[in-house]
Structure 1
């Protein structure tokens, strides 16, 4: 440290004591480069004090008493008449204090930084980690139970599934023709609420009655089932539920085995009103049509009667040159069309 230029020639008289038992001596104090120089009356140097290590024993009082940091036995007294020197020492000490590291502030900054990291983990990492862990550990049977509970919540809007006996038998045959790669693979035809299809946790697919009543061939509803099964492979239905209901419900699922009635009610409402249909990769969808031996063209025209937006499904139909095995017999198709009782 270099002393302030205005104090370079400043001198003052004071009383200095080297140790507690020594007699105080008159001395001359001057400001040097980063030091207080204490000399006797014959201008012989007695000691040098590093200004950063100078401590005032009685702040605000006179005579001002100073000592080196850590050594209270060696003292320097400056009377009120030496106010210029006292002011100079105080200003230099204040300047040094500003330059010193502040452990308290550093600790506070470290604590706040740690809290920010923890908060960021809690906001951005933890919810996803809890969700992903739940998807790994929840068994198929529990997924099916959650799907059944969600379906019960949805029935306030969809009504109970259509159950005309002959139609239910035909629907079971359709499910056998288009088996799920995982989950129950069950199919339900509902009267209302679902736009076209929806997959529940556990693999059950809800089909709107229009898919079996408004088309002349079963290949259309079969195409919607293929698309929904393909979508469920890309977007886990339980994962979509947990994305909507949040981390608390995910924790509850992990700890109790249930996401909670309120969470299911909220997701049922969302699924029936606001949930966008997740897009399905065209290549994956065509692979699904090929794997389940279903023509993609009827589904494409059902989606867009002009075929303009679904041209890729028409042109790349895996069975454009030859018919695959029938989806259902004509008799079963007629029975399925009457599953909701007209």
Structure 2
């Protein structure tokens, strides 16, 4: 105990009672580093050892001071009237109380800091985790609703979806062959930078891919590129992150997003270039579907300089596909989907 530096080897006389009904006995009380030692004055034989931090005064403010080894050990007492010894014991008690208070404050401070850190981590992590979870568990019907809501927002920038029945019938026939059974293709009058994949297997492309191309191959290749470049779960996550935490909670609890949740998402989508898939995977997908790569490549770079791997790797560079993608009548109907 540093509080006892000035009192080490301090001794004083005291009257010790080993039990309430035991006679008083004169002892020598000495202070050690952590103990109060009661010894026989004749033989110096220790009679009792008390832990200094546990010593309590039973009659505070009175003389002689009566001490016990602890509240539970009050049956054993010693009476001391030496002021220096009393001061030493008092200083130890003060030091112990201060140390305990300091430890308590430190422990309390650490607990508060730990709680604040945990709350801060939850505030940082939980919203993102909930949004990601909401996107992950969204069933196909909800994903399709997201896609159609984004398409409705995108119409503000690129114009209303073209709905001429003959052209849409061609798209409905073409979609499962190119993109899968659940795919839906829509055309808008304005350009969208190729073709875009939206959540729920919704695909949208601009009519510019149909008006100026010599055939449907370029538009078909753009649709396939959109499918390969973006996974549906990634698209759902982007959409739900745009909608925000409250909309995500509504999606998880009520099964749908607020009506205006996708507002601005379509415009944001059009500001970004359409993602491109890995050339190798893309060329393989085109080969499986009987679609040449060069028409697509020329819409990206008419000179061909930046898309040489696609042109040279075109699976139909030297031999055309076995059958055309669309008949002349289907291609004409598709080109006129925005007419009227």
TM category, shorter: 0.7 to 0.9
The TM-score normalised by the length of structure 2 is 0.79
Query: Superposition pairs for residues 296-311 of structure 1, below 5 Å?
Result: 296-311=293-308
Q: What pairs up with 1:14-25 in 2 under 5 angstroms?
A: 14-22=14-22, 25=25
Superimposed CA distance per residue, residues 203-261 of structure 1 (whole angstroms, 9 cap, x where no aligned partner): 12111222222333322111111101212447543233224334543332222111222
Q: TM-score, normalised by structure 1?
A: 0.78
Range with bigger deviation, 21-30 or 210-219: 21-30
CA distance in 1, matches of 2:49, 2:231: 81
Give 1:161 deviation, angstroms: 0.7
Structure 1 gap ranges (5+): none
* Partner in structure 1 of residue 180 of structure 2: 181
Distance 1:3 1:257 in 2: 68
Hey, what's the Cα distance between the residues in 2 that align with 1:252 and 1:196?
33
Shift of 1:192: 3.4
Counterpart of 2:239? Answer: 241
Pairwise mapping of residues 9-158 of structure 1 onto structure 2 (< 5 A)? 9-22=9-22, 25-42=25-42, 43=44, 45-57=46-58, 61-63=61-63, 64-69=65-70, 70-79=72-81, 82-83=83-84, 86-87=87-88, 90-91=91-92, 94=95, 98=99, 109=110, 113=114, 116=117, 120=121, 123-124=124-125, 127-128=128-129, 131-132=132-133, 134-136=135-137, 138-158=138-158
In structure 2, what is the Cα distance between the partners aligned to 1:303 and 1:20?
103
Q: Residue 167 of structure 1 aligns with which residue?
A: 167
Is contact 1:52–1:93 with CA below 8 Å preserved after alignment? no
Cα distance in 2 for partners of 1:215, 1:58 equals: 105
RMSD between aligned residues: 3.8
Secondary structure of 2:150's partner?
helix
Q: Is the 8 A contact 1:157 1:193 kept in 2?
A: no
Instruction: Tell me which moved more, 216-225 or 167-176.
Output: 167-176
Q: CA deviation at 1:20?
A: 3.7
In structure 2, relative to structure 1, the CA distance for the partners of 1:98 and 1:131 (3 Å cut) is same
Structure 2: distance between partners of 1:125 and 1:309? 43
- 1:288 to 2:279 alignment: no
- How many residues are treated as equivalent by the alignment? 336
- In structure 2, the residue matched to 1:314 is 311
**Residues 196 and 204, structure 2, Cα contact 8 Å, conserved in 1:** yes
Identify if the C-alpha distance between structure 1 residues 188 and 73 changes in structure 2 by more than 3 Å, giving closer, same or farther. same
Q: Deviation per CA, 1:25-82, whole angstroms, max 9, x where unpaired?
A: 55432123532112355455332112243234567x4545432132123233444x52
